Amino acid sequence: MVYKKSQVPLYRQVENELLALIENKTYPVGSLIPSEKELEQYFQVSRITIRRAITELEKRGFLVKRQGKGTFVQSYKIQRNIIKLGSYTQYMNEQGREPVRKIIQAYEISASRGLATLLAIEESTPVICLQRIFEFGFKNKGLEISYYAAEQYPELLERIYQHSSMTELLKQKYGKTEAASDQRLELALASKEQASLLEVDLSAPLFKLQRRVWDRDHSLLYYAVMYYDATKFSFDINN
């Protein structure tokens, strides 16, 4: 259902409705979606709106047009730019979708030598470790393990809640704004725990993305390692 008085553009509402039908397998992978005329009648919007929604879903990899046959649901991938990589919340907001997060663990550890180097702190310094699952779509999840120097963020553990945006939390409570980052992308095979959390097969190929983030004053904010199903994600390097 679309709401013509909503601030969300009509094409984006139709796009989200079609995506929901794809994700709940009303339109499974390989199936033909209804024609533009049928969708126009169903959503009670213009043909231009329907075409814009379909075009957006094509760009995102959910649909593919086949000459003379129609538009089909394809095995889709999330596309992200590794150079301009923003936060999960930012990405979902850009797609007009609600961020869905789940905390797996949040606890304090002592920094190992390697972790201390990555965070630019002394070895054995207290570090907050946060493990979360991000939902991107039907059985399409990301696992993030992020590390924050405890001395830099007093009472951070007490301020983290289930659906909080860490980007917003760091900004609002600590005055820290993400301004720059570096990324390292490689392939890994899913461990038993990762396979369970991401709902993939054991030893399935995963993208392992390591990321360090700085603020405007060149102060290191955090270090994170993220895992994504390599069959459902792709990364580009365009500026």
Q: Which residue has the higher pLDDT, 116 or 61?
A: 116
State the pLDDT confidence band at 138, using cuts at 50, 70 and 90. low
Predicted confidence at residue 104, as pLDDT, reads 96
10 pLDDT band, cuts 50/70/90, is: very high
pLDDT of residue 65: 87
Q: pLDDT tens for residues 75-123?
A: 667 778 887 788 888 888 877 778 889 999 999 999 999 999 999 999 9
Burial of 144 (0-12, 13-18, 19+ CB in 10 A): buried
- Averaged pLDDT for residues 182-198: 96
User: CA 211 to CA 88: how far, in whole Å?
Assistant: 13
Q: How many CB atoms lie within 10 A of CB 218?
A: 8
Tokens of 119: 């965070």
